[in-house]
Amino acid sequence: MTPFRENGSGYMLGIDLGTTSVSLTVVSVDDGKSVYTVSKEYENRPSDDEYRLDTEGIFVLAESLISSAAEQYRIASIGVTGQMHGIALTDGSGKPVSPFYTWQSRLGERKTENGKTVSEEIEYRCGKIIPTGYGINTYYALRSFGRLPQNAEGIAALPDLFVSRLTGKKPLSHPTNAASLGAFDLKTLDFDKNTLGLLGISRSVLPEVTGDFRLSGTWKHNGEKIPVAVSIGDNQAGIFGAVPNSRDGFINVGTSSQVSLVCEDPDRAGDVRPYFGGKYIVSGAGLCGGRSYAILKDFVASVLAEFGYKITSDKIYSLLNKYAENDDNKGLRVDTRFCGTRRDPSVRGCVSGIGADGLSLRSLAPAFLRGIADELAQMYGEIDPERNCKRFAAAGNAIRRCPPLARFCREALGGEVVIPAHTEEAAFGAALYGGIGAGLINENDRKRMIRFI
């Protein structure tokens, strides 16, 4: 007998279609505790700088995880989130007709016939920066290079497409996803037709934008119709599931890294994005984040391989974490912007301050982590010069799997760093969002359900 038939009011399911994996969590409507969490990595990883993923393969994997969870628990609502900025091309019915181009795509760095890069040409034509990896930048690049399929009529974000698949409805886009594609007006909460016109892009190419806590439709399972909410951006979902107090900050360190604050001013300096309830978030986003620590791990593995040794990633990380805990960095400084920045993809990281006895794993491990924390602190200073935050909720696998990183972040940011009791913060936030949309919980319940370790 499944758990809901014995007791309880049902469960809220949240699923996160991430950069490297799909993660799912099942949350009790009664007390907000995660009773089941699972994560599965994608089998086919991108092999070039276009960073394409198999859209169908992701959806099949995600559906299998939802179906498995629904066999064990009475799912009363489904919330969906996922990686932002990326797109798949769609046909007239809203179904994908291309691979999914992730936020990491470098198509915007390629040169067009006039000698400018795609990103430079976009800025020249419309006077605005739409960074490499943003959906409209990627679409513009594909069109410039003659690579749009004949049946391509639109574009959509990955989580929006997945909700469409679950419900059988055309893709809708919440502002948290729509804004991540670029050319978005934060005040009207719709795409900027003037900017699109200057780029020669019809508004019909972009999805319809909808409002807060709207249900897209239902997903049928064993004769039951389960409400499915419109998907939300993973940055906002993480905040929604980890920050009960709008005065707190939020940091996330996974493949990339972000520091975010809730605000009420769309004209605030920084990368301002839509949030919920008429509010916004202002964020600083690093492209490398936790990946920089993986770069160090891969370097260690490659050196060992040259001498015929094969060591698991877990063992290497365990040793690096041990050295980072001791923090014997010998004055090394590491700039971890190995993948560039949103504004300047050509920026590269570096290791400096190397003394005669300073180049060792014992010194590199803490220096890399301090570099991640320092980039977060730099971005935080740009979005909050007064540094008003006294507490930061911290999410992401890099934070959880590398305990010393939380300490470095605390030192760099100058505030308390707390880690949510639930894992998979974005999926958890999506579950709460879907629960509110289905009328199972309210905003006060959401705040109550967020707990810290």
CB 410 within 8 A of CB 24: no
pLDDT cut 70: percent of the chain above it: 98
314: enclosing H helix or E strand: helix 313-326
Nearest to 376 by CA among 395, 363, 348: 395
Q: Under DSSP, is residue 291 helix (H, G, I), strand (E, B) or coil? A: helix
Nearest to 231 by CA among 285, 161, 294: 161
| Band of residue 319 on the pLDDT scale cut at 50, 70, 90 | very high
- Alpha-carbon span 285 to 343, nearest angstrom: 11
Say if residue 342's pLDDT is above 90. Answer: no
State mean pLDDT over 5-20: 79
Handedness of CA 117, 122, 123, 128 (dihedral sign): negative
Say if residue 3's pLDDT is above 90. Answer: no
> Radius of gyration over alpha carbons of the chain, in Å?
22
Report how far Cα 103 is from the mean position of its chain's Cα atoms: 9
| 125, two tokens | 């034509």
CA triplet 230, 97, 216: central angle to 5 degrees? 15
Nearest to 165 by CA among 220, 211, 99, 223: 220
- Alpha-carbon span 449 to 91, nearest angstrom: 40
Window from 218-227, 354-363, 404-413 with minimum mean pLDDT: 354-363
* DSSP secondary structure string for all residues of 348-400: --EEE---TT--SHHHHHHHHHHHHHHHHHHHHHHH-TT---SEEEEESHHHH
Q: How many CB atoms lie within 10 A of CB 248?
A: 19
Say if residue 175's pLDDT is above 80. Answer: yes
* DSSP secondary structure string for all residues of 240-282: HTT-SSTTSEEEEESSSEEEEEEES-TTSSSEEEE-STT-EEE
- C-alpha separations of 71 from 275, 433, 435 in Å: 33, 22, 19
Model pLDDT, residue 181:
97
Report how far Cα 211 is from the mean position of its chain's Cα atoms: 20
Pairing state of beta strands 249-253 and 391-395?
A: parallel
According to DSSP, the residues that pair with 12 across neighbouring strands are: 27, 77
The residue behind tokens 């999926």 is: 427
Model pLDDT, residue 246:
86
The helix, strand and coil proportions of the chain, stated in percent and rounded to the nearest 5, come to: 35, 25, 40
Per residue in 72-119, pLDDT (tens digit) is: 999 999 999 999 999 999 999 999 999 999 999 999 999 999 999 999
State mean pLDDT over 282-308: 93
CA dihedral 141, 142, 143, 149 (to 10 degrees): -170
Window from 71-75, 113-117, 175-179, 282-286 with minimum mean pLDDT: 282-286
pLDDT cut 90: percent of the chain above it: 81
Q: Under DSSP, is residue 55 helix (H, G, I), strand (E, B) or coil? A: helix
Handedness of CA 205, 211, 213, 216 (dihedral sign): negative
Q: Under DSSP, is residue 8 helix (H, G, I), strand (E, B) or coil? A: coil
Contacts 24+ apart (CB under 8 A), 295-299: 295/338, 296/320, 296/364, 296/365, 296/368
| 274, two tokens | 């839509």
pTM: 0.86
CB 259 within 8 A of CB 383: yes
- Alpha-carbon span 336 to 339, nearest angstrom: 8
Handedness of CA 338, 339, 343, 346 (dihedral sign): positive
Mean pLDDT of the chain: 92
Per residue in 119-143, pLDDT (tens digit) is: 999 999 999 999 999 999 999 999 9
Which residues, at least 6 apart from 21, have a Cβ–Cβ distance to it below 8 Å?
A: 39, 40, 41, 42
Domains of the chain, earliest start first: 3-233+425-449 (3.30.420.40), 244-419 (3.30.420.40)
